[in-house]
Amino acid sequence: MMRKKKGYVCDVCGYDAPAWFGKCPVCDTWDSAKEISSIDVPEQIAQGVFVPLKDIDTADKERMSTGFPELDRALGGGIVGGSSILFSGEPGVGKSTCVLQIASHVASMRKNVLYVTGEESARQIKLRADRLGLKNSGHIHISASSNIDYLRSADLTDYGLIVLDSLQTVRLSDVASLPGSVTQVRESANLVISRSKRNEIPSLLIGHITKEGLIAGPKLIEHLADTVLSFEDTGHGLRFIRTLKNRFGPADEIAVFEMHSDGLAEVSDISGVMVNEFVQAPGNVITAVVEGSRPFLVEIQSLVSRPLYSSPRRVTSGVSIDRMLLVAGVLTKRANIPLDTLDIYVNVAGGLSLDDTGIDLAVAASLISSFLNKAMPQKACVFGEIALDGSIRRVSHMSRRFDRAESSGFPGTISPEGKTIVRDISELLKIFGGAAGEGR
């Protein structure tokens, strides 16, 4: 026996309430309440099931490989049975490609994959599979219909994975709004996730995000899914898959890929890609950052010049402007470098965005290097956090950064520990052999 649970949800912002409302109390939209009646609650669940804690099975759930070792690692060891994974990203970033490659890997283990698409025709998916050179396509079953009512009752016993591409393009006929609306997105996600749990089959749900970074249908699926992966195009042809949330493993891990004509390929050494064009010129400095548990090297570039206008300009790309102003302020005050009167441009090569405070020291070295018009005197990797008093502090994962610097060809390090030790800004200045006031 099933029971229907009723409720209302705002079709604009996703606010939900047990009773109908004329005007949404959260986003103030009139007439946005839509009835949701499609959550099937089995009678047993409706009455409550109480289990003594000691009787709960904690044996590790079996994990399934995605076929990408780095992605498996980012997920905490592969896909957990019955879990649902939301793949979010902007259109064109490579979500469909990635899930099709995963589907093909699962199929290679003789497990059937149900690939539900409301976005493309079956032919388009076949063409992509052919372009990617995927085999085992006999085990991948395509359902190219935007209506997914059939998922309520479909027999999924023979399936090892469900793919839904995408949440914004499918619909249920008893939900009275358009595909992509909050209610449709939420109900479709609910249905796939509940089928996943009930049948112990993992599911991959693709969700487009808007330019503002919201998963359309105001983030409301994020809390439903067990794992949320964000797919980002970082420039340099690199794609990052980041675990934003993970019930079964670490969050904030990353896996790095490159997009080729035959699909996504994992990149195990990003540093190679990020620093292979490094030139020892004024303003260029290599630093080591840690994303998730993964260390890699990137290049910071600065240009310090006489102001073009009466008030100096400060422009950053990839580093927060506040962080750069803090470093520039410390250099002005503690090292007598008159950055306050100069134009400052700071850039992270490769279009990456960094929020690791360990880059402070590299930003400082880069600014000094540009100011003095002197390249870094040694081929070194620079990292450490700068405090307002001009002292330099340790940062997380020091040893991982040292190891990465060594293995990526920048064995000399300048940091508050290690080979060349700098404990404050004046010691950093000495490395350039220069005193303030020499440059422009």
Ligand X SMILES: Nc1ncnc2c1ncn2[C@@H]1O[C@H](COP(=O)(O)OP(=O)(O)O)[C@@H](O)[C@H]1O
Binding stretches for Mg ion (CB under 5 A): 96
Query: In terms of residues, how long is the chain?
Result: 440
Rounded to a whole number of angstroms, the minimum distance from the CB of residue 435 to Mg ion is: 57
Rounded to a whole number of angstroms, the minimum distance from the CB of residue 369 to ligand X is: 36
Angle at 361 between CA 311 and CA 423, to 5 degrees: 120
Rounded to a whole number of angstroms, the minimum distance from the CB of residue 222 to ligand X is: 18
CA pair distance 364, 319, nearest whole angstrom: 12
Encoded tokens for 182:
């909050």
The angle that helices 321-335 and 360-372 make with each other, rounded to 10 degrees, is 60
Comparing CB distances to Mg ion, the nearer of 205 and 352 is 205
436 binds ligand X (CB under 6 A): no
Rounded to a whole number of angstroms, the minimum distance from the CB of residue 171 to ligand X is: 19
347 SS3 class: strand
How far apart are the two ends of the chain, measured CA to CA in Å?
A: 80
Provide φ and ψ at 98, rounded to 5°: -65, -50
Comparing CB distances to ligand X, the nearer of 247 and 260 is 260
Among 13, 93, 204, 267, binds ligand X (CB under 6 A): 93
Comparing CB distances to Mg ion, the nearer of 169 and 369 is 169
Comparing CB distances to Mg ion, the nearer of 95 and 323 is 95
Q: Are 294 and 254 in contact (CB under 8 A)?
A: yes
User: SS3 letters for 375-439?
Assistant: CCCCCEEECCEECCCCEEECCCCHHHHHHHHHHCCCCEEEECCCCEECCEHHHHHHHCCCCCCCC
Instruction: Give the residue from 278, 292, 295 showing the smallest Cα distance to 406.
Output: 295
261 binds ligand X (CB under 6 A): yes
Comparing CB distances to Mg ion, the nearer of 96 and 112 is 96
Comparing CB distances to Mg ion, the nearer of 96 and 243 is 96
Comparing CB distances to ligand X, the nearer of 97 and 284 is 97
Residue 286 interacts with, from Mg ion, ligand X, none (CB under 5-8 Å by kind): none
Question: What residues between 71 and 90 interact with ligand X by CB under 6 A?
Answer: 89
CA pair distance 73, 290, nearest whole angstrom: 16
Rounded to a whole number of angstroms, the minimum distance from the CB of residue 132 to ligand X is: 9
Provide φ and ψ at 336, rounded to 5°: 55, 35
Residue 199, H or E segment? helix 182-199
259 binds ligand X (CB under 6 A): yes
Rounded to a whole number of angstroms, the minimum distance from the CB of residue 108 to ligand X is: 20
Comparing CB distances to ligand X, the nearer of 93 and 289 is 93
Comparing CB distances to ligand X, the nearer of 93 and 102 is 93
CA pair distance 373, 165, nearest whole angstrom: 52
Among 63, 95, 105, 401, binds ligand X (CB under 6 A): 95
Residue 175 interacts with, from ligand X, Mg ion, none (CB under 5-8 Å by kind): none
Rounded to a whole number of angstroms, the minimum distance from the CB of residue 233 to ligand X is: 8
Size of the site for ligand X (CB under 6 A): 11
- Secondary-structure percent of the chain, ordered helix, strand, coil, rounded to 5: 30, 30, 40
Comparing CB distances to ligand X, the nearer of 42 and 91 is 91
Provide φ and ψ at 340, rounded to 5°: -60, -20
Question: What residues between 106 and 135 interact with ligand X by CB under 6 A?
Answer: 131
Amino acid at 124: Q
Can you count the helices (H) and strands (E) in the chain? 10, 23
Rounded to a whole number of angstroms, the minimum distance from the CB of residue 117 to Mg ion is: 8
Residue 94 interacts with, from Mg ion, ligand X, none (CB under 5-8 Å by kind): ligand X
Among 25, 69, 91, 411, binds ligand X (CB under 6 A): 91
211 binds ligand X (CB under 6 A): no
Would you put residue 85 in left (φ > 0), alpha (ψ -120 to 50) or beta?
A: beta
Token match 């879990």: residue?
Answer: 83
Rounded to a whole number of angstroms, the minimum distance from the CB of residue 6 to ligand X is: 35
Rounded to a whole number of angstroms, the minimum distance from the CB of residue 78 to ligand X is: 21
96 binds ligand X (CB under 6 A): yes
Provide φ and ψ at 163, rounded to 5°: -115, 135
Residue 261 interacts with, from Mg ion, ligand X, none (CB under 5-8 Å by kind): ligand X
Residues that bind ligand X (CB under 6 A): 89, 91-97, 131, 259, 261
